[in-house]
Every structure is written in structure tokens, then in C-alpha cells.
Amino acid sequence: MPASPGFDFATIGINHGHVYAQTSVMIEAGCRLKAFYGPEDDLAAPYSEAFPEARRVTDEREILEDPEIKLIIGAGILAERAPMAVRAMRHGKDVMLDKPGATSLDQLAELRAVQAETGRILSICYSEHLLQPATIAAGELVRAGAIGKVMQTVGLGPHREGNYPRPDWFYQKARYGGILCDIGSHQVEQFLFFTGASEATVASSQIANFDHPDKPDFDDFGQMVLVSDSATGYIRVDWFTQAGLPVWGDGRLFVLGTEGTIELRKYIDIAGRPGSDHLFLVDGEGVRHIDCASTEVLYGKQLRDDVLNRTETAMGQAHCFLATELALTAQAEATRIGGNRPAVKGRA
């Protein structure tokens, strides 16, 4: 049997469930999970059960100083991700972080400096694009010219807060960064990807705590407008998905082109077709629904090849940093909207 084209990788930071998809996508690409570091026993137990081949270490230096490990992935507490990536890159490791890769512009500046200094790869896994079949399929259509030149994207990213217990850090802005920094970063990256923008600015941004008076440091709503020299983008994210929806959020993306439009219903077609990954294309010929569930996810294989060949096929480094910069800028410059808790029937 020929040797696997992969390599050994390890995990540092398992505080967000995205780490399971990050791990799986590299294993599916032929890489080998050698070890993981996570000091929280309640998080380490299920991760170890899911990936029993990995040895749990008690000190991250065992991973950082292991010459066989080429890539470190991480989904730690959000404010701890950039410092971990800095340590990893300075130990000669490439890095794949869950989004967001940083929670402040100062952290981003250090990431940029250390990445330039070391020449290592820093990839941020924007899963709502890179691991999402409908979004990948939409990108293929746009590249093929199916809707002409893209003029605008509208990204909607509602999330459910109560689908599992949230830790204390989830509500502390110093540790999670804010809603636009966090879940807003998915939509920022997609704006850059679909419009092809290499430069953009934040025209406006707003955040709010509309319905969490007991958690004053928490943003439950955010929106922003992005502008490049040839396109605009509107983004809305929130934590108000209700229990009646059978998925965690009704993620939507609208892409407006000069010759057509694309709408993505990523996770559910409400009261419509079953399943996920729905793409609707409107052009001069008519209206089509495309089931994208079988679209291949290439991110893991591309990142594997980038690590081995020192290329940028999974994500350009400048693109990665710009998406982070815009999300952080929108968060830092956001106007806070006041909101009184409304009277809702059946709730005190």
C-alpha cells in the first residue's frame, strides 16, 4: 500500500465544537492526528473518544517541540487563539485556526508580523464557506461567469444560543471579541471571496444587546456594510434562532451579479425542500434549484498540499488577514444600538 500523502498534525485548544470538523477534514485528507492538548477534562473526554488515535498531552510544549508535527489546529477560547498561533509559528509549525483568528487589531498585527517573520501558513477555517457545499458550488458558478460581474453580497448568519450550554467566556467580550468579530467574520470572508475584492472598507457597523439584560457584555445582534471599489456587502448576524427551527440557524447568502443572482439556503429550506445545501440560480434563461449536497469539500486536501508544497491554494494569506481585519474593524468601530426588552406573551 502506498504511503499516505499526509503528515502528522496536532490540536491545541478544543473549546469550540468546530474543532471536530477541523480535525476530520485533515484526517479525510490523509493526515494523522498525533496528539492534542486541552486542559479541560470535560472537553477532552469526548474529543479523545472521537479521535482515539491521538495522545492527550499535559503540556502544549510536547506538541510545539515535536519535529514530526507539521500543522497545529486549534479552536480554543477565542481570545487565546492568536497567541497560540504565534507560539506555533515560532516553533516552525503551520496553523489552522477556527474563526475568528484574532479578537483585537493588536492580536492581528502580531499575527501578521510573526507570519511574515517565520514564513509559516496561517489559515483560518471559515467553515460557513470552506466546509459548506452550497457555498463552494456557488463559488464555482461565479468563477464560471454564471451571473456576470458580482456587485453585491448579502450575508445573513442567524445562530441559536441555546442549542447547547454556553460557557461563561461566551458572554465576556474580552474573551470572545464581539458578534461582528466572531460570527460576522464568516460573512466578511464570503464578501471578499465572491466579489474578488483585495481591498475594502467598513462603511458602517452596529451592534446591540436587545434581549440579554443579565449579560451586558454580550452582543446578540450585529450588522455592517462593506464597500470595495466595485462592490458592496451587507451583513447581519444574531443569536435569535428559535427552538422551532430544526437546525442551528437559517444561514442565507444572496449574490447579485450583472447577469443573474444566486441565493443560498445553506442549512434548511424553510417549509420547502428537505435537507440542506440549496442553491437557487436566476439568469436570462430562467430559474433553477441546484442540490449541492454532493459538492466536494476540498479545503483539507488543499491545506495539506499547501503545507507540503508551500503554496496558497486553500486560502490566500492576504485574503485571510483582510477578512479578519475587516471584521475586527467593524467590531471596534460599531455603534451600539439601545434596546428595551419587549413584552412577549408567555414570558415574564
Concatenate the DSSP letters of all residues of 71-114 into one string.
Answer: EEEEE--HHHHHHHHHHHHHTT-EEEEESPS-SSHHHHHHHHHH
pLDDT at res. 163: 79
pLDDT at res. 104: 98
Which residue reads 447547547 in cell numbers?
164
In angstroms, the first-to-last Cα distance of the chain is 65
* Secondary structure percentages of the chain, helix, strand, coil, to 5: 35, 25, 40
Nearest to 256 by CA among 135, 149, 348, 106: 149
Which pLDDT tens digits describe the chain residue by residue (348 residues)? 344 589 999 999 999 999 999 999 999 999 999 999 999 999 999 999 999 999 999 999 999 999 999 999 999 999 999 999 999 999 999 999 999 999 999 999 999 999 999 999 999 999 999 999 999 999 999 999 999 999 999 999 999 998 788 999 999 999 999 999 999 999 999 999 999 999 999 999 999 999 999 999 999 999 999 999 999 999 999 999 999 999 999 999 999 999 999 999 999 999 999 999 999 999 999 999 999 999 999 999 999 999 999 999 999 999 999 999 999 999 999 999 975 444 444 433
**Phi, psi at 17, each rounded to 5°:** -65, -15
Cβ(213)–Cβ(207) below 8 Å? no
Q: Map out the domains of the chain as residue ranges.
A: 8-125, 129-297+331-335
Burial of residue 285 (CB within 10 Å: 0-12, 13-18, 19+) is exposed
For 231, residues 6+ apart whose C-beta sits below 8 A from its C-beta are 150, 151, 152, 153, 191, 195, 197
pLDDT at res. 332: 96
CATH class of 129-297+331-335: alpha beta
CATH superfamily to which 8-125 belongs? NAD(P)-binding Rossmann-like Domain (3.40.50.720)
Q: What is the rounded CA–CA span in Å between residue 157 and residue 138?
A: 17
pTM comes to 0.94
Cβ(138)–Cβ(253) below 8 Å? yes
Handedness of CA 247, 249, 252, 253 (dihedral sign): negative
